[in-house]
Structure 1
Amino acid sequence: MLNPKAFPRYRDFDPLVPVWCVTPGKGGCIHRFFDTSPFSPSGKYLAVLRLPREDRLNLPGESADIVVVDLETGEERVVASTSGWEAQLGANLNWGSEDSALFYNDVDLETWEPFCVKLNFLTGEKRRLEGGIYRISPDGRTIVSASLERMRRTQDGYGVVLPDDRVPRNFGLREDDGLYATDVATGKRKLLASIRDVFDRAHPRIPRSRYEQGECYGFHCKFNPQGDRLLFTMRWYLTEEDQPWNMLPKGLDYWVVTMRPDGSDIAVAVGPELWRQGGHHINWFPDGERLSMNLRSEGDEELSLVQVNADGTGLRKIVDGVPGSGHPTVHPDGVHILTDAYENEKVSFGDGTVPLRWIDAKAGSEKTIVRINVGNPATSANTALRVDPHPAWDSQYKRVAFNGYVNGTRRVFVADLSALS
């Protein structure tokens, strides 16, 4: 558990819950994402990435520090450096099934090949695994990832940064790219489901002929909490640009598909016809059978918090009268939702600060439990430099880690929500 005497208390805007800054020293730190716990399995440690600079995107080969914070003593320990990172999800730090197993991305600077590292930060022992990491399975045995080197084709600030001429393009519906799986025991990687597999085998059917002339890339992928189903997101565009980068602002078609861990039984959960209305940040419900996301319904001005079954059926709002925003996670009690907000969303405060929102879906009400500044001046140069809180739970659903931009730098905070949850 966190030792409150080891960290400075955060009191700005009178939080409704106890909050501490767990990176009070040098700063420049972020935790990974809202769907990954930065807390170690025992809850004693917190894993973060420290960026070398905060005023621009990283260059190929530029290194960042992986830092482990001891939540009992307050020590910040640099345990490794990596060239396999970016400004939004860092090095995709994932804990294994025990405190001694920490996984992250790196890049071989001789071959420019991304790879995954399994680090025992207690002993310093490292092992190289094939392919990169996006998420690890709940049992710690399987790593999944889309092509990290290709991600900035569709959006800056994700994947790993390689020289431009080392980033492949996916013309047509590729049979040699898609969702990959790495066996942690052997370190070997295989292509679990190709992009063509999805277009050929998904149900309901995707009109393949409409998309064969463009470019399609994998992006997010996540195991459900039970480890018996995966979600995989794909992004498509058509362009005549010689070298397309960061195509998100220019318009993409999106699919969220789910499948079994062996790549079979591919189902379209959310397709382009829904995404075009506006939406973002899909995640598993705790039951592992439904997905949550922000989505704008036809005719609505604001996003709603919605749910959909893994096979695409049962789409409906989770709560009426409370807008969606940010990065929502449904609590295991099935009633509460924790989310944050982007600076420009209506639920934010308009001064660079955003809320951590505690939503009661049964009562149709919400509370701002923490208000945190995320206004990074560098965001005006590139939106990929924004600071998103990405509130992420510990394994017991008692504490939440989140990012902020406080005292001129990125910092990570921990809030104790045990009185609420």
Structure 2
Amino acid sequence: MPVQSQWTRRELLAGASIFAAQPPNVAVRPITAGPKFHWFGYYDKRQFSPDGRYVLAMEVDFEHRSPRPEDTVRLGMMDLADGDRWIPLAESRAWNWQQGAMLQWLPGSNREVIYNDRVGDRYVSIILDVRNGRRRTLPGPIYALSPDARWAVAPDFRRLADTRPGYGYNGIPDPNRDIPAPEDAGIWRLDLRTGDYKLILSIAQVVRTPSLPPNPQWDWTGAKHWFNHLLVSPDGNRFIFLHRWTGGAAGARRITRMSTANPDATGLHLVDGFGGISHFIWRDARHILSWASRPP
């Protein structure tokens, strides 16, 4: 699979500074105001409705600390055709500062959004019709959606809360906290129409897959592993995920490698195994743009 990821750190920063130095050529204005705090989340989520009228956002009363299990985030949208009027939609107890509650429009829909929540002792996702208020609760959370809005994939948010604070959700402890590479944690696939929810790739499976050997430079003996940052390709035929580990032979370093897989997690392909890759996006169905470090 061809991959374009050849920029060094210096080249990437230089390129960014060049673009940042250009004067803006569009009007910029705030569409939310205090005293509450508003934000959205990551760059790969659909914040604007397809018709461009509504903008999704999240709202809280505090900053400067991590969310606690009892904290809720308010979800809403601004109507750009009505003075940026705030329209409340829902609340969630499954959120973080980095990515919120994964709030986003369902691909191709001007009326349905999806977001994560915590119900009892499990994380779920909810599809909400913003026009009539109807909700449908699905048995697992979402991270990345397929472009046809038929399925989604997600990592274990319980494990992320332990291994990568700021990206998981506080409220449900990781049952595999003391297991370096569990068999029953990994990437789940959720059918957004039927609600079928199943583990398609375990952490243990990736660790022992012969076709995905660790770079000799990064020994993972005794390390603790997890998955993060999933993204489905524009044609829906592949998804990216990051495999990370720390501890053991890796010491305090957090080592990262990128792989892709088919929608059912078959056809695993190691894209980058040099230990430092992040902040990626699909340029098209065959090319990935990403920040990556390379040895000299």
For the aligned pair, the TM-score class normalised by the smaller chain equals 0.7 to 0.9
CA distance in 2, matches of 1:217, 1:283: 20
Which SS does the other structure have where 1:59 is aligned?
coil
CA displacement, residues 300-327 of structure 1 (integer Å, 9 cap, x when unaligned): xxxxxxxxxxxxxxxxxxxxxxxxxxxx
Displacement of 1:55 in angstroms is: 2.2
Which SS does the other structure have where 1:80 is aligned?
strand
Match in the other structure for 1:325:
none
Displacement of 1:210 in angstroms is: 4.8
Contact 1:63 1:83 in 2 (8 A): yes
Alignment of 1:288 onto 2:296: no
CA distance in 2, matches of 1:190, 1:202: 24
Which SS does the other structure have where 2:29 is aligned?
strand
Show structure 2 runs of 5+ residues with no match: 1-21
Residue type at the aligned position of 1:31: F
Residue type at the aligned position of 1:114: Y
Which SS does the other structure have where 2:45 is aligned?
coil
Provide the aligned C-alpha RMSD in A. Answer: 2.6
CA distance in 2, matches of 1:92, 1:131: 13
Alignment of 1:75 onto 2:85: yes
Alignment of 1:297 onto 2:289: no
Alignment of 1:138 onto 2:147: yes
CA distance in 2, matches of 1:81, 1:17: 33
Q: 1:212 to 1:239 in 2, by over 3 A?
A: closer
Match in the other structure for 1:344:
none
Displacement of 1:114 in angstroms is: 1.0
Displacement of 1:264 in angstroms is: 0.7
Show structure 1 runs of 5+ residues with no match: 1-12, 241-246, 300-421
Q: 1:170 to 1:185 in 2, by over 3 A?
A: farther
Match in the other structure for 1:250:
252
1:175-254 aligned at under 5 Å gives the runs 175-201=183-209, 203-206=211-214, 210-211=219-220, 213-238=222-247, 250-254=252-256
TM-score norm. by structure 1 comes to 0.60
Contact 1:52 1:63 in 2 (8 A): no
Alignment of 1:18 onto 2:27: yes
1:19-418 aligned at under 5 Å gives the runs 19-24=28-33, 26-73=35-82, 74-97=84-107, 98-108=109-119, 111-162=120-171, 165=173, 168-169=176-177, 171-201=179-209, 203-206=211-214, 210-211=219-220, 213-238=222-247, 250-271=252-273, 273-275=274-276, 279-285=277-283, 287-299=284-296
TM-score norm. by structure 2 comes to 0.83
Contact 1:171 1:214 in 2 (8 A): no
Q: 1:261 to 1:202 in 2, by over 3 A?
A: farther
Contact 1:114 1:131 in 2 (8 A): yes
Displacement of 1:178 in angstroms is: 0.9
Contact 2:39 2:58 in 1 (8 A): yes
Displacement of 1:222 in angstroms is: 0.6
CA displacement, residues 251-281 of structure 1 (integer Å, 9 cap, x when unaligned): 212121100111110011111x341xxx431
Percent identity, aligned pairs only, is: 25
Residue type at the aligned position of 1:81: E
Contact 1:94 1:136 in 2 (8 A): no
- Further displaced range: 194-203 or 88-97: 194-203
Residue type at the aligned position of 1:177: A
CA distance in 1, matches of 2:290, 2:264: 25
